[in-house]
Amino acid sequence: MDIQKIIGDVVAKLAGNPDLIKSFLSNPVQLLEKTFGIDLPDEQINQVIEGVKGQLDLSNIDLKDAVGLVGKLKGLFGK
């Protein structure tokens, strides 16, 4: 499975959609599985999540919301 292609496809679908981005930031695994039909082993799904996070444009997201959501996301990964 081409992880880079999946990352590109997800980023393209999230681009310009602040609600989807917020959903991704709050629960990325659920969004990837339910919205995009992506069901990968944990190691690969984590690569997709990190890749998407690195390419997301958060300029359209309310920073207060984004900071809270990123904090929750960090909690999921124990960082």
3-state secondary structure (DSSP) of residue 62: coil
Q: Which CA distances in Å does 22 have to 1, 26, 28, 43?
A: 26, 6, 9, 22
Q: Is the pLDDT of residue 7 over 60?
A: yes
Domain residue extents for the chain: 3-77
- Give dist(CA 64, CA 2) in Å, integer: 34
Distance of CA 51 to the CA centre of its chain: 8
- Residue-wise pLDDT tens digits, 10-44: 999 998 888 898 899 899 999 999 988 989 999 99
Answer yes or no: are the C-beta atoms of 70 and 25 closer than 8 Å.
yes
Determine the 3-state secondary structure of 41 from DSSP: coil
Q: What is the pLDDT of residues 40-61, one digit of tens each?
A: 999 999 999 999 999 987 666 6
